[in-house]
Amino acid sequence: MSQSGVLILQPSKFELRRFYELVKICAKHVQNVLYIDFSFNAQTNSEVALQKGFSRAETYKVLEGIYKSRAQELNSLDVRVLLGNESQNAVEKGFSQRLDVVFLDSSYKSEPSIVERTCMRYNFKNKDAMQFLDGVLESPISEELKQPAKEMKCYDTVAVGGTFDRIHNGHRLLLSTSCLLTNSRIVVGVSDETLLVNKTLGELIEPLEVRMKNVAEFIEDIKPGLIKEIVPLSDPAGPTKTDPNIECLVVSAETLNGGHAVNKIRKEAGLPKMDLFSIELISDIEPESSTDECKLSSTAGRHEALGVLLRPPKSNSNQSGVYVIGLTGGIASGKSSIAKRLEKLGAEIINADIVGHSVYEPGTDAYNEIIQSFGDGILNSNGSVNRRSLGSIVFSDSNKLQLLNSIVWPKIMERIKELISEVASKGAQVCIVEAALLLEAGWDEVVNEIWVSFIPEAEAIKRLKDRNGLSEEEAKKRLASQLKNKERVSQANVVLSTLWEPEYTQKQVEKAWKGLQERITK
């Protein structure tokens, strides 16, 4: 299977339904990026050579047809429609992906030197990887494209903005349209953390520098030579409220009102009004649950990431013979409910909190050190440690919390290792170490993978108030003493969230378990 390829089409032979069939063929050979090139006139006879290409408006229709499609093949591939001029070769186009295969209509076989000229066009070295597709380009141009298209202006400077997380077909249509509307300069605003506070599953949003790099790469691929200004957005208007040279703002239908608001700001500042080019929202497959969205979105992409292996398992010193998962997350994040679901699927569970209770028992080394450090005022009448009293002390003083951790964490680690060995001796395949402080305490050194359960802070506070009877201030102190969600997620192999209905949590857990079984049985 090739990583990337280019499909050469002629405008005179383009038809959307036939195009989908072409992509299905290409999808059997390409799994990552498929470039679409309408501008290369591969034939040499004068009649074909003089054929007129797509107008700007016709090209936009093609872009809509591609990026608004429900066809699975078009959603699974990263399709990039080249908008550069016909004379550019691959080096000038600046392809970010090395081409592994070139697709041409079989009718081109009779053209003199077609292989050589195509290889020259794309700086393509492997002639054996050039494929001719039989008979699929012979349909007439679609009736939709034959309809008169409204003229589309061309601007010196066009702007567009967005989060651009996990670039999908909606982003590709926005960026491609923006490039189509200018032959000079494009300004792209990429939302920084200031604008992401209320984003669903915001912890899974790619870092700003990654998103900006992906945008720049996409633009350079489809229309090299443009002046690109990729800037962070800390407010929705960004450079459009100050740059007098921006003539057009590309928006989605849902952000059109924001475009009008920016024009009001520009008017007050004495700047020229921008044209607004609005793109309808992109329909996706029908939603399966209340958590799914009816449009193709980055949020849907982040939902898809739940329960999926995000990064390879780490190398560690775990030689116990059982595959160990460290399940962690902030307080009230639903770790225990996830652990119970995994137990029903066949995993053995080690609960670090229960282990911690045993470490606090009277007569243990940790118990004696705790009394020496915090006094007997933290004891119940029966001599046991009142963990709530102790908690009220340490969660109000970071130094005292650090002291307590230095006493109990090493003892808990020793006991966890013992329990892992006991689980392994029983012949278990998977062991789950459920531990809120897995990362902070360094217990992750004995696990093969880190699985993180997380929920928004506001939901965690609500659960602590309802479940534990804490005040809002107490709940916030507890959360402040732990790692932030983003810190945990950045180290996770798999992430899960219990924010929604239990059925959705179960779906995530089953997906994660299935993937785990595939990994450990290879």
Q: Which residue has the tokens 């295969």?
A: 101
User: Contact at 8 Å (CB) between 232 and 212?
Assistant: yes
Q: What is the dihedral of CA 424, 430, 436, 439, to 10 degrees?
A: 80
DSSP 8-class letter at 140: P
pLDDT of 289 reads 47
Residue pLDDT tens, the chain, 522 long: 899 999 887 766 666 677 778 888 888 899 999 999 887 665 555 444 444 567 888 889 888 888 887 777 777 889 999 997 544 444 444 578 888 999 987 767 777 788 888 888 888 888 888 888 875 544 444 555 555 556 789 999 999 999 999 999 999 999 999 999 999 999 999 999 999 988 889 999 999 999 999 999 999 999 998 999 999 999 999 999 999 999 999 999 889 999 999 999 999 999 999 999 999 865 433 334 444 444 457 788 899 999 999 999 977 666 678 999 999 999 999 999 999 999 999 999 999 999 998 999 998 999 999 999 999 899 998 999 998 899 889 888 889 989 999 999 999 999 999 999 999 999 999 999 999 999 999 999 999 999 999 999 999 999 999 998 999 998 998 888 889 999 999 999 999 999 999 999 999 999 999 999 999 987
Domain with CATH 3.40.50.620 in the chain: 155-283
Q: What angle do CA 455, 460, 463 make, to 5 degrees?
A: 125
The class of domain 2-44+51-145 in CATH terms is alpha beta
User: For 151, how many CA atoms within 13 A lie in the half-sphere containing its CB?
Assistant: 3
CA 35 to chain centroid, in Å, comes to 22
* Backbone angle region of 256, left / alpha / beta, with phi > 0 → left and psi within -120 to 50 → alpha: alpha
Residue 141, burial from CB neighbour count under 10 angstroms (0-12, 13-18, 19+): middle
Domain with CATH 3.40.50.300 in the chain: 306-353+418-521
User: Contact at 8 Å (CB) between 78 and 27?
Assistant: no
The class of domain 155-283 in CATH terms is alpha beta
Rg (CA), the chain: 29
Nearest to 279 by CA among 143, 172, 166: 172
pLDDT of 283 reads 45
pLDDT of 352 reads 95
Taking the C-alpha atoms of residue 73 and residue 245, their distance in angstroms, rounded to an integer, is 39
Taking the C-alpha atoms of residue 445 and residue 326, their distance in angstroms, rounded to an integer, is 9
Taking the C-alpha atoms of residue 151 and residue 476, their distance in angstroms, rounded to an integer, is 57
Q: Assign a CATH topology to domain 306-353+418-521.
A: Rossmann fold (3.40.50)
Sheet containing strand 30-37, strands side by side = 78-81, 30-37, 2-8, 101-105, 130-133
Taking the C-alpha atoms of residue 350 and residue 277, their distance in angstroms, rounded to an integer, is 57
